[in-house]
Structure 1
Amino acid sequence: MIYEQALSILSPHVQEDLQKEEILSLLETPKREFGDVAFPCFRLAKTRRKSKATIAQEIATAIGPEAEAIGGYVNLRLPRGTFAEELLASILSAGKNYGQQPASSKKVAIDFSSPNIAKPFSMGHLRSTVIGHAIARLYEKNGATPIRINHIGDWGTQFGKLIYAYKQWGSEVKIRENPIKELFTLYVRFHEEENQDPTLADKGRYWFKQLEEGDQEATSLWTWFREESLRAFTELYDLLGVTFDTYEGESFYNDKMTQALKRLEDQQLLSESDGATIVSLGKYGYPPLLLKKSDGATLYATRDVAAACYRKEYYKADELVYVVGNEQQLYFNQLQAVLKEANIAPSLSHVRFGMVLQDGKKMSTRKGKVILLEDVLAEAIDLAAHNIEEKNPGLPNKEEVAKQVGVGAILFHDLKNDRLHDLAFSLKDILQFEGETGPYVQYAYARASSLIKKSSSIKPSPTNRPYSDEEWHVITTLSQFPIVLKDACDKHNPSLVARYTLDLARDFSRFYAHEPISQDASKLAIVESVRTVLQEGLWILGIEAPEDM
């Protein structure tokens, strides 16, 4: 809304040079001391054949005192009273639909989380899970239909190794008591024993071959491992508030690979190299993508091509999104090239992210060096409960609020960081409840909720009046929410939303500290609008907003 207001002011002075859509695309948010909206004049310098500074000065002079030319920009200060009244009225009217774009026919298949069965859910899996979940909600907010896919890692040689390890050292009683822990212990032991006895690798391959050929014992064990793993994963997903539309894992595509390969063959994309089947990608500057080994064995890539075909045809997906770490960038470049060549999925996005590092090193499940997400969440919830007991022992629903705050701290710590960067794991930093944290934003929401409850007899009502700087900063930040939502969706970057909620919480805290609010209907309109937008911003991030803290 803030850019539309600026457009109405600028348009008479630049409409001969630029269309309305072009003007909107150029608008920026300057530092507050420079104004509310900035319009760069760089593009006009070509058409008007003048310096950008001269053009900016001419436009600012023509607009009047609400405009100022600074370094090739026209900076605008909007009329506070009318803008605030209109914006606050629109937020109060829209409620949680503020910033919601009209529904479109666009469908987006989002592949995220994707843990391996029979392995614990570590902090390393958290990033894909929470980033993918937030991106799905951003697509919803921008009018598209997300299809949430958990492409479980449930196939491959590692399951032959696990079957062998269970038959050699496993205990059915122990696995039924604590399946993931015991299966993980067996997986780690196999690799420790393999270092001493290299023949174990052949035994692992043998049992995976038995599984591929439908051996009853191997299939029964694999099915059991898979069911127990999904049950444990589901408990964690429930705690995180993450849902999926499907858990179609690698094994789901075993009977779909032949058709996918034929599709590539019919388009003359397949070739042979030393007995293996590949797709040459020299024109893209990439090495070939291997789809079949010389012994006829298929690979992860083979199933990914089959999965892409299925998602395009079954779900009618317009876009395929894969939320997978930075280290897989080359592979997804190759996959994208193959799908483009085959006209299977012209639109593929690899949403990559950095690793979670422990002591500066990547975590390793093979070596057993992992930090379990389950343990971190439990500790965060315990700490939140301890803080509540110290500061607000009479708080109703203490256990539920502790869960909301503890889980929220973990999620926000991940999502506030640019996804491309590696994330150093530090339990101490994650569990800080002050500063740039989820609990800080949740507390701002709870404080706003408390103000509304205390003034329940007064209906929040925006008016056209003079607004103080503290009020105006909140109002202009509120106006940015739809812009942030679109930008975050376009860039697949939930950190923009997390950072925005921090900014809004800070602005609200300053407003709260400087302005008497209770019994003032127009100020309560600001409070209710903040409450609405913070709750929606946290929802996008998968974080709950407690009414009391």
Structure 2
Amino acid sequence: MEKHYIALQLSNLLGEPFSREWVFEQLEFPKQDDLGDVAFPCFQLAKVFKKSPAAIAEDLASQIDHEILQEVRPSGNYLNFFLNQEFISEHTFKQMLSKQKNYGSHSFGKGKTVVLDMSAPNIAKPFSMGHLRSTVIGNALANLAEKCGYKSVKINYIGDYGTQFGKLLAAYKLWGNEEKIRQDPIPELTKIYVKFHEQAQQDPQLVEKGREWFKKLEDQEEEAVSLWKWFKEVSLAEFNHIYNLLGISFDLTRGEAYYNDKMETVVHQLSRSQLLEESEGAKVVQLDEFGLPPCLIRKSNGTSIYATRDLTAAIDRYESYAFNEALYVVGNEQSLHFQQIKHVLEKLKFPWAENIKHISFGMMLQNGKKMSTRKGKTVLLQEVLEKAVEQAKINITKKNPHLTHKAETARKVGVGAVIFHDLKQHRRNDVEFSLEDMLTFEGNTAPYLQYAYARSCSLLKRGTFDIACADTSLNEQEAWPLIKQLRHFPEVIRQAYHDYDPSKVAKYLLDTAKQFNKYYSEVKIIGSSQESKRLTLVYCFSIIIEEGLSLLGIEAPAEM
């Protein structure tokens, strides 16, 4: 509210070309209390008004209406606004109590659809820590989209096609043991896949065998298709177990192979539009005008490539969902690929192509290096999740041996620790795998947030709080930093979705929990003369932490 109020006043005073929207984006929340509650930098006004920023701040300060403000103070090149704490505190409580979990919601996505391509593991390969990022970042973005009014469609675009499956089929024919694979499918398939790549370094003929088997798969030869279906079936069963552990579901699970009989239509479209050219026997679309290499559509041996399938999938998704945004939550290394896909669709004159966005993210590293299935260097996500849950159970038993539902609480805490360790990082940064860091139950972790939430639940349970007659008249200096923090939640949600950056929510929750714990240490809540008022603040804090964690895909246990 206050940023909109201040932006409206300033834009009216400043006039053209300084719109209310522009002023709103410039407003900041100072980190130091003595610099006010909201600050406006005056640097960009100097050229227009031909005055120093400090002089402009002085002029503006005398013209601001103080209805919800305690004071407006120029300070150097900034104009600092101090809010009326009593008015803002009561307004915050009433707003949060009326909206509950809807607090922080927006309507700018109302009537719009966002489609997310996320997770996308490859069949017949283990679900490694390397797949965690796309899965949890995509899930958090889908939740944020819903919070902003969008309808989200989560698509798990399974990697079930391509030359790597020709290699796997070749490897199975050379070294596969059906009985062993039926007993322990993914580890055994991974073993022969890794062996294929090791042997191929000494025997280049193996690579050709892989191409041959992929051609058989493309030509729908019975044995190739039968093996491929088997590998896919056992893989999906493994994946679903992990998704259940993470608490993540999808609106649509579809493999690349779904588009096999649909790609030819797109190839014909490219040809009719005179975009398809031959290059060394292959079919390509030139992208010179964008400064990009050609987009390969069909290889010289006639087989398709994943660009062809992605083009077909994009068209199918628009026809199915008429999306306003299509977000591809895929690693940084695929940046060129998605630039090519977008520009080819633009050349086909699809106006919606501009709404395709590559939501890139850094790699999950192990000892500073990329994890790789073909090199046998992977950390299995299921093992990490199971270890995290076990460690959570040990820690909970030490701290609260009589806790009921211990196993369920340990699952929420352990899985939450793994998810949060990823989401607190900016998505474009690489993340070094560290089981020790993930399982630290103090500091900047999910368990720290979950414990703060559990503490708030305990206070509410022990105290006399009744939402029906909650006292919203709390006005004390110790509470003000936490109240201000709670007010920032809607803006954090808006910015997190705008930047496609769940880490903004994670960092905000950590700051909020720290303010709550500081407040808890400074004042007596239960049994104090201000108990009812203070419990209203505790309840509002609990709303924010529970909802914020939920947006990140993390559950908040009421007891720990």
TM-score bracket relative to the smaller structure: over 0.9
Q: 1:509 aligns with which of 506, 511, 517?
A: 517
Task: Return the match for 1:522 from 533, 537, 543.
Answer: 533
Larger CA deviation: 160-169 vs 123-132: 160-169
User: Which among 462, 466, 472 is matched to residue 463 of structure 1?
Assistant: 472
Supply the distance in 2 between the matched residues of 1:17 and 1:367 (Cα, whole angstroms).
58
Q: Per-residue deviation at 1:196?
A: 3.4
Select which of 431, 434, 441 maps to 1:426. Answer: 434
CA contact (8 A) 1:119 1:184 kept: yes
CA distance in 2: counterparts of 1:304 and 1:321, whole angstroms: 13
1:77 aligned residue (71, 75, 82): 82
Normalising by structure 2, report the TM-score. Answer: 0.94
* Residue in 1 that maps onto 2:125: 119
Partner Cα distance (1:73, 1:109) in 2: 41
1:292 Cα offset (Å): 1.2
Change (3 A) 1:88 1:4: farther
Offset at residue 313 of structure 1 (A): 1.0
TM-fit CA distance, 1:279? 1.2
Q: Are positions 1:537 and 2:545 aligned together?
A: no
Task: Name the Cα RMSD after superposition.
Answer: 1.8
Indicate yes or no: 2:102 matched with 1:97: yes
**Contact kept? 2:465, 2:532, Cα under 8 Å:** no
AA matched with 2:25: S
Contact 2:148–2:494, Cα closer than 8 Å, also in 1: yes
The more displaced of 341-350 and 37-46 is 37-46
- Residues 110-136 of structure 1: CA deviation (Å, up to 9, x unaligned): 101101000001111111111111111
**2:376 matched residue in structure 1:** 368
* Residue 465 to residue 412, structure 1, CA distance change in 2 (3 Å): closer
**Partners of 1:82 and 1:304 in 2: how far apart?**
54
Secondary structure of the residue that 1:542 maps to in structure 2? coil
**2:254 aligned counterpart, secondary structure:** coil
Alignment of 1:295-314 (within 5 A): 295-314=301-320
Cα 1:117–1:58 change in 2 (3 A) is same
Q: C-alpha deviations, 1:79-114, integer Å up to 9, x for none?
A: 001111011111111111111122612111110110
Aligned to 1:194: 200
Q: 1:278 aligns with which of 284, 296, 303?
A: 284
> Could you say which residue in structure 2 is the equivalent of 1:26?
26
Cα distance in 1, alignment partners of residues 251 and 179 from structure 2 = 33
1:6 matched residue in structure 2: 6
Q: Which runs of 5+ in 1 are unaligned?
A: none
2: CA distance, partners of 1:213 / 1:299: 14
SS of 2:245's equivalent in the other structure is helix
How far did 1:7 drift?
3.9
Select 1:153's aligned residue among 159, 164, 179.
Answer: 159
Distance 1:401 1:426, change over 3 A: same
SS of equivalent to 2:327: strand
> Structure 1 residue 45 and structure 2 residue 46: aligned?
yes
Query: Which of 281, 288, 297 lines up with 1:291 in the alignment?
Result: 297
Secondary structure in 2 matching 1:29: coil
Which of 14-23 and 382-391 deviates more? 14-23
Whether 1:180 and 2:186 are equivalent positions in the alignment is yes
- Within the candidate set 374, 397, 410, 2:418 is matched to 410
Tell me the residue number matched to 2:233.
Answer: 227
Shift of 1:172: 2.2
- Measure how far apart 1:260 and its partner are: 1.4
SS of equivalent to 1:278 = strand
* Residues 79/457 of structure 1: CA separation in 2 closer, same or farther (3 Å cut): closer
1:13-43 deviations in Å (ceiling 9; x for gaps) = 4467644333322211112321111112234
Paired letter, 2:537: I
Any residues of structure 2 matched to 1:327-366 within 5 Å, and which? Answer: 327-344=333-350, 345-366=353-374
Q: Secondary structure at the match of 2:426?
A: coil
* Residues 463 and 318 of structure 1: CA distance in aligned 2, closer, same or farther (over 3 Å): closer
* 2:324 aligned partner: 318
SS at match of 2:361: coil
Shift of 1:9: 6.0
How do 1:201-240 and structure 2 match up within 5 A? 201-240=207-246
Superposition deviation, residue 343 in structure 1 = 2.8
Partner of 1:262: 268
Alpha-carbon distance between aligned partners in 2 of 1:301 and 1:478, rounded to the nearest angstrom: 45
The alignment status of 1:444 with 2:455, answered yes or no, reads no
Q: 1:466 Cα deviation (Å)?
A: 2.9
Alpha-carbon contact 1:84-1:462 (below 8 Å) kept: no
Change (3 A) 1:113 1:221: same
Taking the aligned partners of 1:147 and 1:245, their CA distance within structure 2 comes to 6
SS of equivalent to 2:318: helix
CA contact 2:163–2:211 (8 Å) conserved in 1? yes
2:115 is paired with a residue whose SS is: strand
Q: Retained in 1: the 8 A contact 2:328–2:359?
A: yes
Distance 2:127 2:384 in 1: 11
Structure 1 residues 44 and 197: alpha-carbon distance in aligned structure 2, compared to 1, 3 A threshold: closer
> How much has 1:192 moved relative to structure 2?
2.3
When residues 462 and 289 of structure 1 are mapped into structure 2, their CA distance, relative to the original with a 3 A threshold, is farther
Deviations 1:245-289 (A, max 9, x none): 111111011111111122223332222222221111111111111
Match in the other structure for 1:383: 391
> How many pairs align?
548
- Quote the offset at 1:158 in angstroms: 1.8
- Aligned equivalents of 2:16, 2:296: Cα separation in 1: 55
- 1:247 maps to 2:258: no
Distance 2:259 2:349 in 1: 19
Q: Distance in 2 between matches of 1:105 and 1:262?
A: 34
Alpha-carbon spacing, 1:462–1:70, altered in 2? closer, same or farther (3 Å): farther
**TM-score if structure 1 supplies the norm length?**
0.96
Greater CA deviation, 421-430 or 510-519?
A: 510-519
Moved more, 12-21 or 396-405: 12-21
- Tell whether the 8 Å contact from 2:106 to 2:494 is kept in structure 1 after alignment: no
Kept after mapping to 1: 8 A contact 2:10/2:20: no
Greater shift in the superposed pair: 10-19 or 269-278: 10-19
Kept in 2: contact 1:410–1:431 (CA 8 A): yes
User: Are the equivalent residues in 2 in contact too, given 1:17–1:44 (CA < 8 A)?
Assistant: no
The 3-state SS of whatever aligns with 2:283 is strand
CA shift for structure 1 position 73: 1.5
CA contact (8 A) 2:89 2:475 kept: no
- How far does the alpha carbon of each residue in 1:484-507 deviate from its partner, in whole angstroms, 9 at most, with x for none? 111110111000000000010000
Give the one of 498, 502, 506 matched to 1:498.
506
* Cα distance in 2 for residues equivalent to 1:499 and 1:207: 49
Once the two structures are superposed, residues 175-207 of structure 1 have per-residue CA deviations (whole angstroms, 9 ceiling, x without a partner) of 222211111112112222323332222222222
- Provide the rounded CA distance (Å) in 2 between the counterparts of 1:135 and 1:159: 31
